[in-house]
């Protein structure tokens, strides 16, 4: 699977991508946060950059709205890039690597402990109503006795596997998943199904050193899970 081989945009209702790197706590980063703000603004990796600075962290968003589409945060032990404004898979990954390089060029002794990538989204399927999607999703479960005596309102499934998990389910009216993850006014609330998958790599005896070269491994794994789930649910 290539980094560009993913889901066509006309099948996507809403999509958010999150990339987080946790590293060994490094207090020297705190002294460099002001310079990091200037570098990131100058790089224009985040358009219309609006910044906030706390005692030990910074937050840069693409504007000053209550629900900014893009949020970038850095503190002494992690950085997190979170955006629902995604042009392509490639552009998101390029932004992640460049933002991380700005941190490493400003600081030093970054010892990565964990690399994680999460994709949350809602997607179109063949059915056009919430009721039809719920009924078809319920039919995916082989043990139908689970539903016989209960009025089904939701059929979300959570599955944990080695180094990750996913949650799938129909998008319902007034859906809490949508409200929590896509609270902005531009959210597409049309019927569909949701995918939430988080995959990660941690430092271990088998992998004692994590580097920026491992970012792509985690990213590709997350894209692959999203694509596999989409392909199996799009015909609902």
- Does residue 2 have a pLDDT over 60? no
Residues 159 and 59 in one domain: no
As a whole-number percent, the residues of the chain with pLDDT over 90 amount to 63
Residue 74 belongs to a domain: yes
Last residue of a domain, one of 110, 142, 167: 110
Together in a domain, 205 and 227? yes
Residue 60 inside a domain? The answer is yes
Beta-carbon contacts of 79 under 8 Å, excluding residues fewer than 6 positions away, are 20, 21, 72, 73, 99, 100, 103
Same-domain pairing of 121 and 100: no
pLDDT at 64 over 80: no
Does residue 160 share a domain with residue 106?
no
Q: Give the domain-ending residue among 110, 125, 143.
A: 110
Q: Which is nearest to 97 in space by CA: 30, 179, 21?
A: 21
Domain end marker among 83, 110, 137: 110
Residues 178 and 99 grouped into a single domain: no
Identify whether 2 is part of a domain.
Answer: no
Interval 11-26: pLDDT, tens: 999 999 999 999 999 8
Give the model confidence (pLDDT) of 90-138 as tens digits. 999 999 999 999 888 876 678 999 999 999 999 999 998 988 998 898 8
Q: Based on the structure, what is the number of domains in the chain?
A: 2
Q: Could you read off the pLDDT of 165-218 as tens digits, one per residue? A: 999 999 877 788 888 999 888 889 899 999 999 999 999 988 899 999 999 999
How does residue 5 score in pLDDT terms, banded at 50, 70 and 90? low
pTM score: 0.92
Q: Looking at the chain, how many residues does it have?
A: 236
Instruction: With a cut of 90, say whether residue 140 has pLDDT above it.
Output: no
Mean pLDDT of 128-152: 81
Asked if 78 and 181 sit in the same domain, the reply is no
- Write the CATH number for 57: 3.30.310
| One domain, residues 87 and 121 | no
101 and 132, same structural domain?
Answer: no
Cβ contact 220:213 at 8 Å: no
Quote the Cα angle for 14-20-21, to 5°: 165
Q: What percent of the chain has pLDDT over 70?
A: 96
Q: Are both 105 and 141 inside the same structural domain?
A: no
3-state DSSP assignment of residue 80: strand
Question: 91 with 149, same domain?
Answer: no
Domain limits at 198? 8-16+117-236
Structure tokens at 40: 């990131």
């Amino acid at each position: 699977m290539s980094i560009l081989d993913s889901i066509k945009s006309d099948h996507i209702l809403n999509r958010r991508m999150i990339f987080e790197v946790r590293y060994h706590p490094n207090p020297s980063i705190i002294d460099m946060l002001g310079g990091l703000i200037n570098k990131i603004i100058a790089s224009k990796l985040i358009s219309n950059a609006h910044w906030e600075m706390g005692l030990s962290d910074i937050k840069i968003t693409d504007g000053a709205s209550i629900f900014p589409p893009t949020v970038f945060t850095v503190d002494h032990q992690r950085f997190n890039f979170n955006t629902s404004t995604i042009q392509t898979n490639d552009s998101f990954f390029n932004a992640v690597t460049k933002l991380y390089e700005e941190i490493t060029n400003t600081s030093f002794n970054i010892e990565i402990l964990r690399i994680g990538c999460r994709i949350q989204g809602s997607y179109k399927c063949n059915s056009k109503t919430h009721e039809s999607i719920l009924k078809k999703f319920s039919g995916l479960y082989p043990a139908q006795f689970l539903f016989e005596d209960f009025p089904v309102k939701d059929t979300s499934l959570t599955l944990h596997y080695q180094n990750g998990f996913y949650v799938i389910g129909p998008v319902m009216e007034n859906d809490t998943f949508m409200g929590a993850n896509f609270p902005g006014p531009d959210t597409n609330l049309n019927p569909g199904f949701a995918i939430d998958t988080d995959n990660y790599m941690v430092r271990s005896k088998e992998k004692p050193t994590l580097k920026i070269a491992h970012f792509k491994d985690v990213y590709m794994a997350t894209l692959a899970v999203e694509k596999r789930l989409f392909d199996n649910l799009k015909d609902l």
